């Protein structure tokens, strides 16, 4: 059965949820997930190779799009790990104004 087709009793493909999370621009990737992103990238590249061999042009296009989003998330996450943190201190109440 082809991935993505739904029949009674089928379990959802967990890769579909991963792709959805990768494509969402609002979700940031936890830096601890960088090794997992590398695994997903390897899997996508293998799937892309198979899709090319089978001449599934739509699948190749979809995988290319997902790879673009994946690499953007990887770069964004790597950039965030290098960004220095700023200590804002503890908030204090403002002094009352005297008139």
pLDDT digits (tens, 9 = 90+) for 32-87: 888 988 999 999 999 999 999 999 999 999 999 999 999 998 888 888 778 777 88
Instruction: Report pLDDT for 8.
Output: 46
Instruction: Report pLDDT for 83.
Output: 75
Domain that holds residue 56: 32-79
Whether 90 is covered by a domain: the verdict is: no
Query: 3-state DSSP helix/strand/coil percent for the chain, to nearest 5?
Result: 60, 0, 40
Whether 8 is covered by a domain: the verdict is: no
* Nearest by Cα to 27 from 73, 59, 64: 73
Whether 25 shows a pLDDT value over 60: the answer reads yes
Count of the separate structural domains present in the chain: 1
Whether 38 is covered by a domain: the verdict is: yes
Whether 74 is covered by a domain: the verdict is: yes
Distance from C-alpha of 66 to C-alpha of 39, rounded to nearest angstrom: 14
Whether 19 is covered by a domain: the verdict is: no
Whether 98 is covered by a domain: the verdict is: no
Dihedral in degrees, nearest 10, Cα atoms 69, 29, 39, 41: 10
Backbone angles phi, psi at 34, to 5 degrees: -55, -40
């Amino acid at each position: 059965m082809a991935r993505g087709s739904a029949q009674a009793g089928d379990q959802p493909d967990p890769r579909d949820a991963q792709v959805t999370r990768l494509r969402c621009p609002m979700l940031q990737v936890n830096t601890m997930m960088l090794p997992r992103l590398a695994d997903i990238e390897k899997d996508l590249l293998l799937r892309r190779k198979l899709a090319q061999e089978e001449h599934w042009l739509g699948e190749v296009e979809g995988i290319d799009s997902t790879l673009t989003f994946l690499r953007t998330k990887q770069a964004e996450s790597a950039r965030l790990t290098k960004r220095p943190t700023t200590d804002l201190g503890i908030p204090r109440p403002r002094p009352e104004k005297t008139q």
